[in-house]
Structure 1
Amino acid sequence: MRKLVALPVLSADALSSVAYGPEAMLAVLVLGGAAGLAYSVPVALAIVLLMLAVGLSYRQTIRAYPHGGGSYIVATDNLGRLPGLVAAAGLMTDYILTVAVSVSSGMAAVTSALPGLADEAVSIGVLVIALLLAGNLRGVRQAGALFSAPTYAFVIAIAALVAAGLYDAAGRDFEPVPPPPTHLAEGVGLLLVMRAFASGSTAMTGIEAISNAVPAFQPVAWRNARTTLSWMIGLLIALFAGTVALVHLQGVVPRSEETVLSQLARLSFGSGFMYVFVQAATALVLLLAANTAYNDFPRVLFLLARDRHAPKIFTRLGDRLAFSNGIILLSVAAALVYVAFEGRTAALIPLYAVGVFLAFTLSQSGMVVHWWRRRDRHWRKSLCFNATGALLSAIVFITAGITKFQEGAWVAILTVAVFLLVTTRIRRHYDRVAAALRLHPRLIEIPGGTLAPPCAPSTPPGRPLEAPSGAKAGAGNGVEGGIEGGIGAETGAETGAGNGAGTEAEETPEEIRHLSVVPVDALQLASMRALAYAASLQQPVLALHVALSDEDAERFRAAWLLWGDHLPLRIVVSPYRAVVAPLISYIESLHHQRPDLTITVIIPEIVVRHWWHRLLHSPLAGRLKRALRHLPKIVVTTVPFHVVD
């Protein structure tokens, strides 16, 4: 992406937080009455300094991780597995709440302009989440002017609002309008100020998005990413500070029935076109901010599944090349949170701050360790920036956890603890299964080969089975390798003529001609057992491996040769990480080329003791049966391998 496109696409989450960050801060300060509201400017200045420090810190992260450095990757690389999981827990909580908070804040903008929809806000919000789910399952992507427009419209709207407000204030020599009388709920003290600081700091959510997406930039990617991050931080500070200054000058206080931005827009523009423009731009950018989580949440879940901390189903791509399972999980979780808190932004904010700043703290702490180990050029300056960001983020995290514990922060903390428990137990299970499946040295020399089938007098010499002409599985997937030797079949089988070829009319065992296809994910005991079972049937056998890249294909071929190259092997390259679709496509191609063959797909199946462990293993056999059921002469069976855990 060019910088002018990347800025609105990757900054939507951060810039849209201006719609609820200042209001969250004021909602706490107003509890102290006029004395509390007097702290709005000093607290806002502290938040601006925090934005600047964290922004400079992430500039160092971009330089150190030019291929993308999210909190999970940085914390895992530099602090270890457990801190990496804690950072992932904070990120996952952040992304779920990004959807819930953005939708709730967007609905607040809508109901401020159209109060008649207030009673239906929760239902409409759930519908919006459902639309986001449907759109992302269809493969909606952030790109181009379509996704740039809402962010730029929001920036223009807030800039016009601030300019109009400051122009009005200049007419009275910038004399602040006294706020309306407020009910004093508690005294003004350090605790109140710190709570306001923690709430207002949620205006920094999404600030790490650019460091996650460095490879998406035009060359030189890391330099363009740093420039874009600087622009984003500058815009965020200007919009946040301008909004708080306008609130102070106009004497606006938070109200349950109308947002602060809506009040400011009414004061500056009345109820005309510009007011509608401000509210519409706010709602649209918040919707776009919610959609950014649909790119980041499934990606973090994929990384966790790749590292065996989450079920393997989250590595699976859907038909539209999106991580469908992660998208569904995010939508369900966000909808449950949104409904549980009745779509109230103020109630969701305490949960939000904990996850956001937990991830910030661990990411920046990881960068401190990174620079201390590397000690390359300018490492001291970079270490100081990251140490400052880590310290300030930790202060906000601790403050939010303590001051907002009873308001809902305990839910976020409990969620992190449960997440750690679940992910570590998943990793332990996968490690035990891997140990049970590991090949022993003596198994490398297994005498293999397909056992020669008994020769029937009526069977003439066969011809080799060629690679299917339609064997390219899925868009852009190539086919490599070959089938060594011949797989017996009658010469007339090419046209499917004679003896009921291509039909299910065989009535005697002698009429059935077999081909066993064994999908092999990796060379381990379960796959060996399936290959041995297939060879023992005394029928031709073909091993089939779906590789995710050319490098993966070469690694598997080398392992196959080390094992002894006992059986014919076909490798299908699937660069989009889809496995099942290429497998189905290849088997269908085999069937269409040789309809005379009865193809038996023999799948190694991991059998575990507990039902909850079954969720961690892909039900490949069931999916293949459903996908291939419409084809005649296709048999899908499994060879179980029992793992005691």
Structure 2
Amino acid sequence: MAGEEGQGGTVVTPSAEFPPLAEEELATLRGIGARWRAGGRRGELPVDPTLGRYRRRPPGRFGRLAPIELFKVEEPDELVATEPANLPGSRWGRAVTRLRRTLFGPPLSSAAVLYERMRKLVALPVLSSDLLSSVAYGPEAMLSVLVLAGSGSLGLSLPLAAVLVVLMVAVGVSYRQTIRAYPHGAGSYVVAGDNLGTGAGLAAAAGLIVDYVLTVSVSVAAGVHAVTSALPGLAWATVPLGVLVIAVLLAGNLRGVRTAGNIFVVPTYAFVLAVVAVLVVGWLRAAGRGFAPVPPPAVPAAEGLGLLLVLRAFASGAVSMTGIEAVSNAVPAFRPPEWRNARTTLGWMVALLVLLFAGLTVLIHLDGLVPRPGETMLSQLGRVTFPTGPWYALLQVATTLILLLAANTAFNGFPRLLFFMARSDHAPRRFLHMGDRLAFSNGMVALAVAATVVFVAFDGRTEALIPLYAVGVFLAFTLSQAGMVVHWRRRRGAGWRRRAAVNAVGATLSGLVLVTAALAKFTQGAWLVVLAVPLLVLLFARVHRHYATLHRALALHPPGAGPAPTAPAEVPGVPAEGEELPQQVRHLVVVPVARLNRASLRALAYAASLGQPTLAVHIAPEEGEADRFRQQWAAWGDQVRLETIVSPYRAVIGPLAHYLEALHASRAELTLTVIVPEVVLRRRWHRPLHSRAEQRLRSALRALPGVVVTSVPVHIAE
């Protein structure tokens, strides 16, 4: 994994999709350019490429769609589109484009990426919604396991909560150090890959991917559960409501970072204020009775209290920490100075998490509440704290909103993780692309689809999804913090031992939670995550292998590393690479002709105009038809050499493809340019009336090396 992932990165811009050439490739490129110049000078163009004569009003059909300048001349030999006004030509295409603009907003200029940043007060709710919302179900998840041993075991929630608070602080401080060491943004994937090797980085990425998908599924499931707790009559609509919420989250995030931030600010702060109000009123009521705990209702034990049950409870409570790594992934999304604002925001997040988690756990213990089906523990706590007035309803509304919108953290982290992976060729390169609103839209869509599949597969049940939750994220935590220990040992700057010790504590505690969660929850569904992680690692490795093969095939090789020269002329020190120089290309133009009509004659005329050797090929189903076609060809004047092939089984595409392959095999240095006449139909419903053989031929020839396929269209007006 490239070291530039962590330290040498810059602000993420749309240009990241187009990496620069290496110095060796640039040197090779200069040599190839010298060969081009030796082969002849480029001629003058028959048109003005700057479109200078059309700057006042663009010609053609675009003029009526956009009465503005489509282009302006920024520099010599450079045009700049003034705005994306070129709507698709069809009525349906224009309608779809207008709908997209309405839902997601107008496209943003690439230069606007510098302004699509978040200030700390916006970044806090955007990046902490997952972390803070988890306190709505984290304490309940822990107590739901303890209560299996009877109500007498619920007292263990306090020491377990204390250990979890230590873990939260340790991991939070560790990630603050990660932000300082990787000021341009680096999550577990980059840190583990830089310091522990590519395999560790891919394992961390796999864990995070599973975690982000589950974050969306669990958050939406918990939010819908909060709705059905207050309105039990809606329980039947759990799955449709969840799918609708995921779609709304996707649409909101596709509108861009700033817009999404403005959407999610109010619900997050409302939830924090609502829970703080519960804590203040609840603790005042507890103080009135001298902090004496209310005895919980008697619950019979379903299993014995043992170490395994306690560990399961601890691992279940640890889900309250999911999302703590989001800030380290999103450092480039902050306003300058990015790393300092990110560290500050992470500090606020951890402080709020500790306050809410510890406060709620202790208050639940003081009020003697126990988990029960059909109502969340936060809902129970709200009813006890606010028995009258509108405050309980406000708490439930705020809780529902934060749980439903907690998935927004994943919509920030998941696409950025795929961006880093795609930059290292471990994920499809389409995830490098920024959409119309300067958001990683492809990654967001992939997350929404995966989360919807998981949500529907588990019927939107929070209790079924929670056991899958901790393994992936704590795998990433552990590898990231272990990687930071190696990082500080390598750097050995001032205070490196203290920093390494902090990260070592975080790695140890995270590793303990990882092992505990994997073992204790294995039979409850965690085996799915244990299986998914190595499968994802294998998938990422295969993707990287494909891109490595592609790079070797397309790279400009340095002297001595390229293929053998195919042309006699050489420039000293520069390899002659096959068909990269105009003088190396040897043409044969082939025109498949089914019948002599306007389309085929236009294709033949186009082929002859190229001034290259041209061959026409006709596939006949029987000898008689072949004779008739040769007579028609003679009547035309036999202007181009014709070769007829009789196909007694009436196949056309297969015999023609095999014939072209044989032609190329007989003269491997030839480039076969196949010119296909194509009828372009205006109306979609006319297409089934035609065989579309040209498209099937193009598909068949695409796999043949040394064959170029082009079309000569004939447009039908009706």
TM-score (norm 2): 0.63
Q: Match for 2:508: what amino acid?
A: L
2:238 alignment partner, SS class: helix
CA contact (8 A) 2:331 2:338 kept: yes
Return the letter of the residue paired with 2:442. N
Deviation at 1:138, TM superposition (A): 5.1
Structure-2 separation of matches of 1:383 and 1:217 = 26
Query: For 1:209, which of 319, 322, 326 is the aligned residue?
Result: 326
Q: Which amino acid aligns with 1:236?
A: L
Q: Is 1:407–2:540 an aligned residue pair?
A: no
Residue 283, structure 1, aligned to residue 400, structure 2: yes
In the TM superposition, what is the alpha-carbon distance from 1:148 to its structure 2 partner?
1.5
Deviation at 1:137, TM superposition (A): 4.3
Residue of 380, 383, 396 corresponding to 1:266: 383
1:34 is matched with: 151
CA distance in 2, matches of 1:192, 1:421: 34
2:182 paired with 1:86: no
Alpha-carbon distance change, 208 to 536 in structure 1, aligned in 2, over 3 angstroms: same
Aligned pairs for 1:505-524 within 5 A: 509=605
TM-score normalised to structure 1 length? 0.70
In structure 2, give the amino acid aligned to 1:415.
A
2:689 maps to which residue?
none
The equivalent of 1:188 in structure 2 is 305
Counterpart in the other structure of 1:372: 489
Tell me, yes or no, if structure 1 residue 53 matches structure 2 residue 182: no
Q: Counterpart of 2:132?
A: 15
**Residues 312 and 213 of structure 1, relative CA distance in 2, 3 Å threshold:** closer
Residue 576 of structure 2 corresponds to which residue in structure 1? 445
* Residue 123 of structure 1, CA deviation: 2.0
Name the residue aligned to 2:625. none
In structure 1, distance between residues paired with 2:452 and 2:483: 33
Amino acid at match of 1:509: A
Matches within 5 A, 1:334-413: 334-413=451-530
Contiguous gaps of at least 5 residues in structure 1: 455-502, 517-528, 540-601, 610-620, 633-645
Q: Structure 1 residue 417 and structure 2 residue 417: aligned?
A: no
Q: Which residue of 1 aligns with 2:420?
A: 303
Residue aligned with 1:207, SS: coil
**RMSD after superposition:** 3.6
User: Shift of the alpha carbon at 1:255?
Assistant: 1.5
Q: Deviations over 1:115-167 (max 9, x none)?
A: 11112112211221233234444557555543221111111000001111111
| Alpha-carbon spacing, 1:607–1:13, altered in 2? closer, same or farther (3 Å) | farther
SS at 2:400 equivalent = helix
Task: Please give the secondary structure, in 2, of the residue aligned with 1:173.
Answer: coil
Tell me the secondary structure at the aligned position of residue 39 of structure 1: helix
Summarize the alignment of residues 626-645 of structure 1 with structure 2, pairs less than 5 Å apart. Answer: none
Matching of residues 53-72 of structure 1 within 5 Å: 53-72=170-189
In 1, the alpha carbon distance for the partners of 2:704 and 2:460 equals 41
CA-CA distance at 1:177 after TM superposition: 0.9
- Larger deviation, residues 163-172 vs 44-53: 163-172
**Contact 1:453 1:538 (8 Å CA) reproduced:** no
Asked if structure 1 preserves the Cα contact closer than 8 Å seen for 2:192 and 2:480, the reply is yes
Shift of 1:509: 2.0
| Larger deviation, residues 165-174 vs 83-92 | 165-174
Q: Deviations over 1:549-576 (max 9, x none)?
A: xxxxxxxxxxxxxxxxxxxxxxxxxxxx
Q: Which has the larger radius of gyration?
A: 2
Q: Distance in 2 between matches of 1:534 and 1:146?
A: 59
Query: What SS is found at the alignment partner of 1:197?
Result: helix
Would the alpha carbon gap of residues 413 and 319 (structure 1) be closer, same or farther in structure 2, given more than 3 Å must change?
Answer: same
The CA distance in 1 between the partners of 2:185 and 2:443, in whole Å, is 20
Could you tell me whether the CA contact under 8 Å between 1:298 and 1:314 is conserved in 2? yes
1:168 deviation in Å? 1.3
Which whole-Å CA distance do the structure 1 matches of 2:374 and 2:228 have between them? 8
8 Å CA contact retained: 1:44, 1:241: yes
Question: Deviation of residue 294 (structure 1)?
Answer: 1.7
Structure 1 SS opposite 2:371: coil
SS at match of 2:150: helix
Q: Could you tell me how far apart the structure 2 residues matched to 1:534 and 1:149 are?
A: 66
Q: Which amino acid aligns with 2:544?
A: R
Structure 2 stretches lacking a partner, 5+ long: 1-117, 566-574, 588-598, 613-663, 676-697
Offset at residue 322 of structure 1 (A): 3.7
Equivalent residues of 2:329, 2:416 under 8 A apart: no
**Alpha-carbon distance change, 375 to 607 in structure 1, aligned in 2, over 3 angstroms:** farther
Q: Aligned residue for 2:366?
A: 249
d(CA) in 2 for partners of 1:452 and 1:117?
69
- Which amino acid in the other structure matches residue 266 of structure 2? A
Deviation at 1:451, TM superposition (A): 9.6
Aligned to 1:579: none
Q: Write the distance in 1 (CA, Å) between the matches of 2:350 and 2:122.
A: 16
